[in-house]
Chains A and B, each alone.
Chain A
């Protein structure tokens, strides 16, 4: 797969996730593919992007030379703010999360279980970076969308009956968008809602390590 097409797929996933966002929402985005989501929102859709380090109303990256070391996102990279934005301390930023004020949280993940358990913070013995704000966001956002590749680099499924990696939070994922398909998790049941025209239901079935039902309204996203 060429680099260009990989970027295209990442953007397709981000574009699909952007459709879950409507004007007036408060949205928190994780690093990686989720950070591409704002590029796919119509300009008329006014959203307040929340950052754990104390920004409500985050805007796009500044132009080269316009960066401000004291205005960065939670990943440490320069951002801007939109009109109506506010700054706050970390306690307030997390109070917004715990109190359920975040409408949509979009995160990457290592694994998701059929019932919506999320495992995205640790690979024991390999990568132990700490949970950061992931547990707070995963357990408290009104809607949690996971953007991830359907399988890992070795081709192992990332959607499983039970996660094998330590959990970030249980039964918290509402939607999974992969490079192949869109699933919703309703009442702890995994439902295939849409798939990209580059794949097929049989391929998705083969690369998903748990049972799922297929929506009566199954849609194909033309690529």
Chain B
């Protein structure tokens, strides 16, 4: 096995990564129904018993898959997501009033995350204008004769993502549909931690194939892989 040099000091252990998490923190996570969510980081946050988190991401996974583990075990006080339907415990906690849920249409949510990562304040969209549950409390404006909703940008104190490969600079390559929200979430964190299947030497990734430039990634840890059973494996 090749010894990977660490000239940027970004390659770290899971323990070093977990030192960044604390109660009341806003954590943004990559993944869609658990696919492309970082398993070891989620397990680590769970094991450290960090509570009162505000979680931002596409959905709340399944009860024992992806970010769903943290949500089901009551570690979040608030979730900003597009969907919680695949995790019935999230719905139950919401109905009990112990979990605040802010819903955003999926396309709007990811644009808000992208805007945060791109240094923008908000985006304008007409999706959701028909729905008082979406427009509530939001500014609307007319532009060029059309109506738009002002949807504010989202950032987080820490972003956690999953990627297939990283190099020591934190350049990331994803795998198939496990890319999903990860490239956006990676950009929107004040501090971004990437859990990856493989770390290759500097120069080991073709610059043309890199999806997330390492400038957005502060820390890289090696993954032990998924530690949950997928829904389709349960039957």
Q: Which of B33, B94, B101, B105 contacts A72 (CB 8 A)?
A: B33
With A98-B107, A135-B131 known as contacts, the answer to whether A90 contacts B230 (CB < 8 A) is: no
The stretch among B47-55, B151-159, B181-189 that forms the contact with chain A is B181-189
Q: Name the contact of A53 in the complex, choosing from B108, B114, B180, B226 (C-beta under 8 A).
A: B180
Q: Is the CB of B103 within 8 A of A130?
A: yes
User: Nearest A residue to B183 by beta-carbon distance?
Assistant: A89
CB distance from B121 to the nearest CB of A (A): 17
Interface residues of A in 49-92 (CB under 8 A from B): 51-55, 67-79, 87-91
Indicate whether B166 reaches chain A with its CB closer than 8 angstroms: no
CB–CB B82/A132 < 8 A: yes
Any B CB within 8 A of the CB of A145:
no
The count of chain A contact residues (Cβ–Cβ below 8 Å) is 45
A-B contacts, 19 listed (Cβ < 8 Å): A51-B177, A67-B232, A67-B233, A70-B35, A70-B176, A71-B177, A72-B33, A72-B35, A74-B32, A76-B35, A76-B232, A87-B174, A87-B177, A89-B182, A90-B180, A94-B110, A131-B131, A135-B134, A139-B126
CB-based contact A128/B91 at 8 Å = yes
When distances are taken between beta carbons in the complex, the residues of chain A under 8 Å from B34 are: 76
Closest 8 CB pairs of A and B: A129-B85, A94-B107, A76-B33, A70-B178, A132-B83, A136-B107, A133-B106, A130-B83
Interface on A for B, CB 8 Å cutoff?
A: 51-55, 67-79, 87-91, 94-95, 97-98, 122, 127-136, 139-140, 166-170
Known: A53-B35, A88-B179, A90-B184. A76 touches B131 (CB 8 A): no
Q: Given the interface contacts A69-B230, A94-B106, A133-B82, does A89 sit within 8 Å of B184 by beta carbon?
A: yes
